[in-house]
Amino acid sequence: MSNPSNPCHIGYNLTPEQIEEMERDVVVILQELIRIPSVNHGEGRGDERAAAQYCADKLAEVGITSELIETAPNRVNVVAHIKGRDQNRPGIVVHGHLDVVPANAADWSVDPFSGELKDGYIWGRGAVDMKDGDAMFLALVRAWSRAGFLPPRNVLLIFFADEEAGSVYGSRWLVKNRPELFEGYSEAISEVGGFSVTISSGHRLYFVETAEKGIQWMKLTATGDAGHGSFINPANAITKLTRAITRIGEYQWPARETKTGSKFFSKIAELVGEPYDPTNPRPLMKHIGGAARMMGATVQNTANPTMLEAGYKANVIPGSASAVVDGRFLPGFENELESTLRELTAGDAEIEIMVRDKALEVEFEGPLVAGMCDAILAEDPEGVPVPFLMSGGTDNKALSDLGIIGYGYSPVRLPEELDFFALFHGVDERIPVDGLLFGVRVLARFLSNC
C-alpha cells in the first residue's frame, strides 16, 4: 500500500544479507547498552560517559567519526554527521537519549541491567525508554556505512544526555551552546512513536507522535502562625496547604479538543463504529487497552501533587509548608492550567513556577509523514498509522527552539497482550525481539529514502 503524496520509494537499499546483519547487530547493541547502567538520578546526578563512549566506539568500528561533548562531569553527548547525497536539501536530526531512570533490582524478576534475552524479549532498564531506539539508530547507520550507502540527505545523529531530568546537560545545553551543530537541519525523529496498539476492533494502530503536552512544575507555599503543637491554631500552614492540595488533587479537569486529538479519536470512532464527541472522547478509551494509561491524560490538562515538605519537630507547628505540583497543559490551553490552579489555591497558598516548557503540535501531513506511514505499511500492510498527543515530553522541545519540527518515531510492533505503557519507567521493562527487528527494518525503509 503506497501513499501517492509520498515521493519516497520506501525500499531498503540494502541487500537481504545486509538486512540480516543489521538485525543481528541491533539485538547485540541493545543488550550491551542495557548492561551499561547510565542512570540519571536527577538534580544533576547522572553518568552517561560509558554509554556515550560505547556509541562512539560502535560508530568508529565502521568508519563513522563522532564527537563526544561533555557538558558537566560525566554528562556526555554523542554527535555524528552522516553525509547525504543531496547537500542542498535540509537534513534530518535522528536523536535518542542515553540516560535511564533508576531501577530497584529487588522489584524485578531479572537483573535490570542484564540485557537478558528471555521468552522472546530483551529485558532491562532502558529497553523501551529508550535504548531500543538508540540501538536501532546505531544498527542502521552501521549498516549504511558497511554497505557504502549514502542517505538521500544529511543525517545528524545525536545521543543526548539528561533527557530524564530536564535535558539541562543534553539537548538544552547543545541548543544553547552549540547551535551551529543544527544548522541546515529542519526536521527530527526520536522516541515514543511508531509503536503498535491493537484496539478492540482488532485493528493494529501505529501511534506516530505529532504533539506533546507542555509542562509546568509549581511550588505551592502556605504560611501561617508558628507555635506550640498543643495550642489551638486556626492559622496552621500545614492545614492550609493540605486544603489547597486536596482541591487540586480532586479537581475534575474538563475535556478539551486538540487538532491531534480530533484526528486520533475520530479514527478510533470510525474503526470501532461508535460516535466521536469532541466535548468528551473519554468513552472511546475503553477500545485502546493499556494505551488509555497515557491517552487519558491527553484530553485534558492535569495537575498532580508530587512532593510535600513541612515541619521539623512533632510538637512545633511550622510557620510554612510547601508542596510541588506537576502540571501538564494541552497545546492551546496553556493559560487554563495556571489560572485554574490559582483559583483552587486562593486564600491558602501562593504559587511559584519552577519549570515551564512549551507544548508542541505539528500537522500529520507532508512528505516526511507520508514516508513514515508508508514505511510502516510496507512492513505491516494491515497497520493503521495515526497521530497522537503524548502526555510527557521529549528532546524535540529543545530542538523546536531552533525551528526544527520533531516527531516521535522509533517504530516497534508489539504483541496485543503487552501493556507497553506500563513498561515506561516500570518494573520488568522489556521489548520483544521481533518487534525490535520490525522497527529497525521500518527505519531502514524510511531513512534510506526520505
- Please report, for the domain that includes residue 70, its CATH number: 3.40.630.10
Q: Examine the domain organization and report whether 205 and 266 are in the same domain.
A: no
Host domain of residue 44 = 16-210+359-447
Q: Examine the domain organization and report whether 243 and 365 are in the same domain.
A: no
Instruction: Report the pLDDT averaged over residues 379-403.
Output: 95
Q: Examine the domain organization and report whether 232 and 253 are in the same domain.
A: yes
Residue 4 lies in a domain: no
* pLDDT in the model for residue 248: 97
Distance between CA atoms of 111 and 242, rounded to whole angstroms? 39
C-beta separation of 416 from 112 below 8 A: no
Q: Examine the domain organization and report whether 117 and 219 are in the same domain.
A: no
Residue 379, sorted as left (phi over 0), alpha (psi -120 to 50) or beta, turns out to be: alpha
Residue 11 lies in a domain: no
Choosing from 325, 357, 389, the residue where a domain stops is: 357
Question: What CATH number is associated with residue 337?
Answer: 3.30.70.360
Distance between CA atoms of 24 and 190, rounded to whole angstroms? 22
Choosing from 308, 339, 357, the residue where a domain stops is: 357
Whether residue 144 is predicted with pLDDT greater than 80 in this model: the reply is yes
C-beta separation of 172 from 69 below 8 A: no
Distance between CA atoms of 300 and 306, rounded to whole angstroms? 19
Tell me the per-residue pLDDT of 334-385, one tens digit each, with 9 for 90 and over. 899 999 999 999 999 999 999 889 999 999 999 999 999 999 999 999 999 9
Distance between CA atoms of 247 and 130, rounded to whole angstroms? 35
Whether residue 49 is predicted with pLDDT greater than 60 in this model: the reply is yes
Give this prediction's pTM.
0.92
Identify the band that residue 43 occupies on the pLDDT scale cut at 50, 70 and 90.
Answer: confident
Instruction: Report the pLDDT averaged over residues 324-329.
Output: 96
Q: State the average pLDDT for the chain.
A: 94
Distance between CA atoms of 209 and 273, rounded to whole angstroms? 24
Instruction: Report the pLDDT averaged over residues 119-137.
Output: 97
Q: Examine the domain organization and report whether 388 and 306 are in the same domain.
A: no
Whether residue 2 is predicted with pLDDT greater than 70 in this model: the reply is no
Q: Examine the domain organization and report whether 344 and 420 are in the same domain.
A: no
Residue 388 lies in a domain: yes
* pLDDT in the model for residue 299: 95
Q: Examine the domain organization and report whether 82 and 192 are in the same domain.
A: yes
* pLDDT in the model for residue 31: 98
Choosing from 308, 341, 357, the residue where a domain stops is: 357
Q: How many domains does the chain have?
A: 2
Whether residue 1 is predicted with pLDDT greater than 50 in this model: the reply is no
Residue 44 lies in a domain: yes
Instruction: Report the pLDDT averaged over residues 261-266.
Output: 96
Identify the band that residue 9 occupies on the pLDDT scale cut at 50, 70 and 90.
Answer: low
